[in-house]
């Protein structure tokens, strides 16, 4: 579902990563690790076509990633740093909007009244339960307590079971241990 060859991104003189091969078949999960600034979010954005590679080629669902194309976006679910909720909508309304029919187990109040962990859970439910073949998550564990991190691992396992190709940038070794088939350390 994801096939990258010789991937590299450079800013000015500095290569964030270079010569990276990435294979993520359906039903498997790659976790990207590495220090702050090592390029995890950048690589995820390249897989979504939200940012250009300096070198290399990548196919996602058989084509070049391009977030500007609805056909491409239909097959790819994402949670990025700047993913947001509509503040005025309740959790139920938010999930209806993204076409997801699951029990959110959250207060039925406008999103702006929710805690950051509750908002994160809602974003995750929307992304993971939306129909997709590729799932890209940037630090999905952020703002989640220990119990909810295990809940997250269960959601990711469920997505893998349904055939998703999953790439997660994470600082949580526990999450990586629970869901990763491969770990790619960007240093
Ligand atoms: N548009 C840009 N122009 C110049 N440099 C950039 C640009 N975007 C990112 N960078 C550089 O790339 C580095 C990597 O950023 P990135 O967000 O991918 O790291 P990360 O591994 O996700 O870090 P974190 O763990 O903090 O989320 C940044 O520290 C910055 O130096
Ligand atoms: Mg990042």
- Domains in the chain (CATH in brackets) are 2-185 (3.40.50.300)
Q: pLDDT above 90 covers what percent of the chain?
A: 97
For 5, counting Cβ atoms within 10 Å of its Cβ (0-12 exposed, 13-18 middle, 19+ buried), the class is: middle
pLDDT tens track for 114-158: 999 999 999 999 999 999 999 999 999 999 999 999 999 999 999
Place of tokens 């976790």: 31
Cα of 169 vs centre of ligand 2, distance in Å, is 7
What pLDDT does residue 151 have? Answer: 96
Is residue 43 predicted with pLDDT exceeding 90? Answer: yes
Among 12, 13, 40, say which to mutate for ligand 1: greatest number of ligand atoms within 8 Å of CB.
40
Q: How far apart are CA 32 and CA 168, in angstroms?
A: 6
Is residue 112 predicted with pLDDT exceeding 90? Answer: yes
Q: Which two tokens stand for residue 106?
A: 């959250």
Q: Write down the number of H helices and E strands in the chain.
A: 6, 8
What pLDDT does residue 149 have? Answer: 96
Cα of 20 vs centre of ligand 2, distance in Å, is 18
Residue 99's pLDDT band (cuts 50, 70, 90): very high
Pick the closest to residue 132 from 85, 98, 172 (CA basis).
98
Q: How far apart are CA 165 and CA 178, in angstroms?
A: 16
What pLDDT does residue 91 have? Answer: 97
Is residue 19 predicted with pLDDT exceeding 90? Answer: yes
Is residue 82 predicted with pLDDT exceeding 90? Answer: no
Place of tokens 């090592």: 38
Q: How far apart are CA 13 and CA 114, in angstroms?
A: 43
Q: How far apart are CA 131 and CA 134, in angstroms?
A: 9
Contact 25, 3 (CB under 8 A): no
Strands 2-11 and 55-60: antiparallel
* Average pLDDT, rounded, for the chain: 96
Nearest CA to ligand 1 atom 9: 42
| Ligand 1 atom nearest to CA at 186 | 21
Q: How far apart are CA 46 and CA 8, in angstroms?
A: 10
Q: What is the mean pLDDT of residues 49-61?
A: 97
Is residue 81 predicted with pLDDT exceeding 90? Answer: no
Q: What is the mean pLDDT of residues 22-41?
A: 98
Q: How far apart are CA 185 and CA 187, in angstroms?
A: 5
What pLDDT does residue 178 have? Answer: 97
């Amino acid at each position: 579902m994801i096939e990258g060859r010789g991937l590299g991104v450079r800013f000015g003189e500095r290569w964030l990563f270079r010569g990276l091969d990435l294979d993520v078949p359906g039903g498997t999960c790659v976790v990207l690790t590495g220090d702050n600034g090592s390029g995890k979010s950048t690589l995820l954005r390249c897989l979504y076509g939200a940012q250009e590679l300096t070198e290399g080629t990548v196919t996602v669902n058989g084509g070049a990633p391009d977030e500007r194309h609805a056909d491409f976006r239909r097959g790819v679910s994402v949670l990025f740093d700047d993913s947001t909720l509509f503040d005025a909508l309740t959790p139920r309304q938010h999930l209806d909007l993204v076409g997801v029919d699951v029990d959110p187990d959250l207060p039925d109040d406008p999103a702006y009244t929710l805690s950051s962990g509750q908002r994160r859970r809602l974003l995750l439910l929307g992304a993971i339960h939306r129909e997709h073949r590729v799932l890209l998550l940037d630090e999905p564990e952020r703002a989640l307590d220990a119990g909810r991190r295990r809940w997250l691992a269960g959601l990711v396992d469920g997505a893998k079971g349904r055939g998703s190709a999953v790439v997660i940038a994470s600082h949580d070794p526990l999450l990586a241990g629970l869901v990763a088939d491969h770990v790619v350390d960007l240093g």
